[in-house]
Amino acid sequence: MSALVLELSQQSWWERFQRGLERPDDGAALLWERWTRSRELGAPNDEIPAELGLERGVALRARQERLDPLLSEVRDTFDEGAAALAAYDFTLLLADAEGVVVRAGGGGAFAPVAQSVRLIEGASWGEAARGTNAIGTALAEGRPTAVVGAAHYARPFHELVCYAAPVRDPEGRVVAALDATSMVSQAHPAVWALVSATAQAMEATWRARAWARASAQVVGLVERTLDRVAEPALLVQRGQIVRCNAAARVALGSRRAPVDAVEALGLTWDTLRRAALSGGVVLPKLGALGPGQARLEPLFGPDGALLSIAVFREGPAPRLFSPPQAPKPPETSDAFRAVFAEDPATRAAVDLGRRVAPSVLPIVLLAETGSGKERFAEALHAASKRRDGPFVAVNCGSFAPELLAAELFGYGPGAFTGADRQGRDGLLHAAAGGTLFLDEIGEMPPAMQVALLRVLEDGRFQRVGERTTRQADVRVICATCRDLPALVATGAFRQDLWYRLKGVVLRLPPLRAREDRLGLARFLLAQATRPNPPPALSPALEALILRHPWPGNVRELKSALEVALVLAEGAPILELEHLPPDLTQALHAPDELGLLSGDALDVVQANAIRRALEACAGNVSAAARRLGVARSTIYRALQRRE
State the DSSP string of 228-257. H-SS-EEEEETTEEEEE-HHHHHHHTT--S
Q: Which CATH number fits domain 589-642: 2.20.28, 1.10.3470, 3.90.79, 1.10.10?
A: 1.10.10
Helices (H) and strands (E) in the chain — how many of each? 26, 22
User: Which of residues 342 and 322 earns the better pLDDT score?
Assistant: 342
Least confident of 35-44, 244-253, 274-283: 274-283
The per-residue pLDDT for 111 is 92
User: Which of residues 543 and 402 earns the better pLDDT score?
Assistant: 543
The per-residue pLDDT for 316 is 43
In angstroms, the CA 582 to CA 563 distance is 12
Is 60 exceeded by the pLDDT of residue 356? yes
Q: Quote the Cα angle for 8-12-17, to 5°.
A: 85
pTM of the model: 0.45
* SS3 of residue 318 by DSSP: coil
Residues of the chain with CATH 3.30.450.20: 216-313
pLDDT in tens, 559-613: 888 888 888 878 889 888 888 766 665 554 444 333 333 333 344 456 667 666 7
Average pLDDT over residues 76-89: 85
User: Which of residues 417 and 256 earns the better pLDDT score?
Assistant: 417
The per-residue pLDDT for 214 is 55
- Please report how the helices 620-627 and 57-66 are oriented relative to each other, as an axis angle in degrees rounded to 10: 30
For the domain 513-584, what is the CATH code? 1.10.8.60
pLDDT band at 157 (very low <50, low <70, confident <90, very high): very high
Q: Is 216-313 a domain of CATH 3.30.450.20?
A: yes
pLDDT band at 283 (very low <50, low <70, confident <90, very high): low
**Amino acid letter, residue 314:** E
Torsion of CA 199, 205, 207, 210, to 10 degrees: -140
Is 90 exceeded by the pLDDT of residue 226? no
The per-residue pLDDT for 582 is 63
The candidate with the shortest Cα–Cα distance to 338, out of 362, 374, 285, is 374
The DSSP secondary-structure symbol of 150 reads: G
| Cα within 13 Å of Cα(203), Cβ side | 22
The whole-chain average pLDDT of the chain stands at 78
The per-residue pLDDT for 327 is 41
Instruction: Give the best-scoring range by mean pLDDT among 147-161, 168-182, 424-438.
Output: 147-161
Q: Please, which residues have CB within 8 angstroms of residue 570's CB and are 6 or more apart in sequence?
A: none
Residues of the chain with CATH 1.10.10: 589-642
User: Are 136 and 108 spatial neighbours (Cβ–Cβ below 8 Å)?
Assistant: no
Residues of the chain with CATH 1.10.8.60: 513-584
pLDDT band at 35 (very low <50, low <70, confident <90, very high): very high
For the domain 4-211, what is the CATH code? 3.30.450.40
The per-residue pLDDT for 288 is 63
Is 60 exceeded by the pLDDT of residue 278? yes
Is 80 exceeded by the pLDDT of residue 417? no
Torsion of CA 604, 610, 613, 617, to 10 degrees: -150
CA-based radius of gyration for the chain: 26
Q: Domain 332-509 adopts which CATH fold? A: Rossmann fold (3.40.50)
pLDDT band at 254 (very low <50, low <70, confident <90, very high): very low
In angstroms, the CA 363 to CA 370 distance is 19
User: Which of residues 263 and 332 earns the better pLDDT score?
Assistant: 263
Is 90 exceeded by the pLDDT of residue 468? no
In angstroms, the CA 37 to CA 126 distance is 12
